[in-house]
Amino acid sequence: MGVPSKCLLIIKKVHRETNTKTQLKLNSSYNYSLRKERNQNPIWLPLTSIHKSKKSSSFKLKNFDLELMGSEGPKAITIHVTGFKRFLGVSENPTEKIASNLKSYVEKRGLPSGLTLGTCTVLESAGEGGKARLYQVLESSVAAASGDNKNTNGTVVWLHLGVNSGSEKFAIERQAVNEAHFRCPDQLGWQPQRLPIVFEDGSILKAKETTCPTESIFNILKNKGYDVVQSDDAGRFVCNYLYYHSLRFAEQKGHKSLFLHVPLFSKIDEDTQMQFVVSLLEAIAATC
């Protein structure tokens, strides 16, 4: 019996040293995750660590004996992507090109079963003046899911792309802060100074964190050789402004939201960035 593409494996024996039970979820033919039964992010490890016993339907992982409990098909997940147009100091925003070309790129390359690339939208690099358009785009995912029975019970994730012109690495942003403090006017001329993004949320120190398992996503991408870091500071400009609203919306609708900062194409070339974003889509699908 071969290993199914996705199955649930439960520990048969308790680890002698830690005295804790763990649960193993095999997500694809290449990766699997190991997590404790408590609510925590999975740890991603290579599938080659699993060895099936010829005498039983058990799998062995170091000091653990794992029993095959059943299998399920790939879960449905739809990821919507946004990028930004140019803004002051950045005449060519790489995220505009990535978001514009992503559909055709994945059509040629393909995506794992169960993963659907939803809308790819390029937004104005604006805060308050661009908020209505942002919510129009976010609400469209709710309408699309309710109108498509296949995706009603699936996961919806918003992946937002923004550029950090001073960086040479990809940065997975773990949170956004309720503060708009623009170092320069946005593309519509708005330049707030230390204002709450959402006044009813209170202090400008309030932060909202993504529910995506960033540690697991980071490990997958790092293991593929990408120059990527995790970050707790999305700035106080338009990127943070959008991310805070998106996290708030996702919280209300039961969706997920994640922000990625990319460098300029002069720091990491366009093809590598396209490959990275597709790898990120796959990592999100495998972990969320």
Question: Domain ends where: 52, 71, 90?
Answer: 71
Are β-strands 58-61 and 64-71 bridged in parallel, bridged antiparallel, or unpaired? antiparallel
| 153 shares a domain with 227 | yes
Total domains present in the chain: 2
* Angstrom distance (rounded) from CA 248 to CA 250: 5
Length of the chain (residues): 288
- Tens of pLDDT, residue by residue over 78-102, are 999 999 998 888 889 999 999 999 9
Contacts from 15-18 at CB under 8 Å and sequence distance 24+? 15/63, 15/64, 16/63, 17/63
Q: In sequence order, which ranges of the chain are alpha helices (DSSP H)?
A: 94-109, 131-146, 149-152, 214-223, 238-253, 270-287
CATH number (domain holding residue 129): 3.40.630.20
Lookup result for tokens 């937002």: 160
| 113 shares a domain with 89 | yes
Mean pLDDT per 10-residue segment, the chain (288 residues): 38 38 41 40 43 39 40 78 91 95 95 95 95 94 63 82 95 98 94 97 96 97 98 96 98 96 97 98 96
* Angstrom distance (rounded) from CA 171 to CA 162: 10
Question: Domain ends where: 71, 89, 116?
Answer: 71
* Angstrom distance (rounded) from CA 249 to CA 131: 12
Question: Domain ends where: 30, 48, 71?
Answer: 71
Q: What is the pLDDT of residue 87?
A: 86
Write down the pTM of the prediction. Answer: 0.75
| 240 shares a domain with 142 | yes
What are the structure tokens assigned to 117, written together? 């690339």
Range of the domain at 261: 77-287
| 133 shares a domain with 90 | yes
Q: What is the pLDDT of residue 244?
A: 98
Nearest-5° Cα angle at 231, 86 to 248: 75
* Residue 253 burial (10 A CB sphere; 0-12, 13-18, 19+): middle
* 256 closest CA partner among 228, 221, 220, 284: 284
| 157 shares a domain with 23 | no
| 253 shares a domain with 150 | yes
| 237 shares a domain with 222 | yes
Query: Is the CB of residue 174 less than 8 Å from the CB of residue 245?
Result: no
